[in-house]
Amino acid sequence: MKPSPNLLSPENHTLVLIDFEGQMAFATKSISINELRTNVAIVAGASKIFNVPTIVTTVAEESFSGPVFPELEEFYPQASSGYIDRTSMNTWEDEPAYRAITATGKQKLVLAGLWTGVCIVGPALSAMSEGFDVFVITDACGDVSTEAHERAIQRMVHAGVKPVTSVQYLLELQRDWARTETYIPVTDLMKKYGAGYGLGIHYAHHMLKH
């Protein structure tokens, strides 16, 4: 009856959200911007609901890349979340980011961001080399082409990184619908951002009243 230690739980990992900024999104072609923004909202909302230690990092925010997606700031406002702005493409090579990530004391890391082939591959492989168990939310990442994104994911998977999706991440944290303290926030999040699945929840909740 014990769940696998390979599963993610709210207590066993740190989430790192990397460079979800306008300039990075403009050139992203492997996923539609609408879908990417929706998936970012699901991931950020999930981590907020379950109180997951979450690091938000940007690159050259003021001089080049611009502000983070509104969907990310909805759950992690810049004024209170302490975004870490970098110059290095590899988050792992930025000392403040590295210290913030490792200070959480979690051995599992979950990464999402732009672009997959640079800003995700770098910290994923670097963290693995230091013994971390690394997950990447593949549909909350994107790159300048489908080829670039897929080769990056393939490279990381070959190295031992575990791919997950945004909805999978949310539901793996919920795990049991009897967890009533998070049931309403999770279903509300999906009603707002869960596309057809969220619409199904909305329909079911309405029809059960009759």
What is the pLDDT at residue 179? 95
Q: Which residues are catalytic?
A: 119
Q: Please say whether the beta carbons of 61 and 21 come within 8 A.
A: yes
| Joined tokens for residue 34 | 């609408």
Instruction: Look up residue 17 and give its amino acid.
Output: L
DSSP 64-100: II-PBPHHHHHHS-HHHH--EEESSSSGGGSHHHHHH
Instruction: Look up residue 102 and give its amino acid.
Output: T
**Distance between CA atoms of residues 191 and 193, nearest Å:** 6
pLDDT per residue as tens, the chain (210 positions)? 899 999 999 999 999 999 999 999 999 999 999 999 999 999 999 999 999 999 999 997 777 778 999 999 999 999 899 999 999 999 999 999 999 999 999 999 999 999 999 999 999 999 999 999 999 999 999 999 999 999 999 999 999 999 999 999 999 999 999 999 999 999 999 999 998 989 998 998 888 776
| Joined tokens for residue 21 | 């900024």
What is the pLDDT at residue 61? 74
Residue-wise over 37-74: b if at least 16 C-beta within 10 A, else e? bbbbbbbbbbbbbbebbbbbbbbebeeebebbbebbbe
What is the pLDDT at residue 14? 98
**Distance between CA atoms of residues 46 and 186, nearest Å:** 7
What is the pLDDT at residue 209? 72
**Distance between CA atoms of residues 193 and 114, nearest Å:** 20
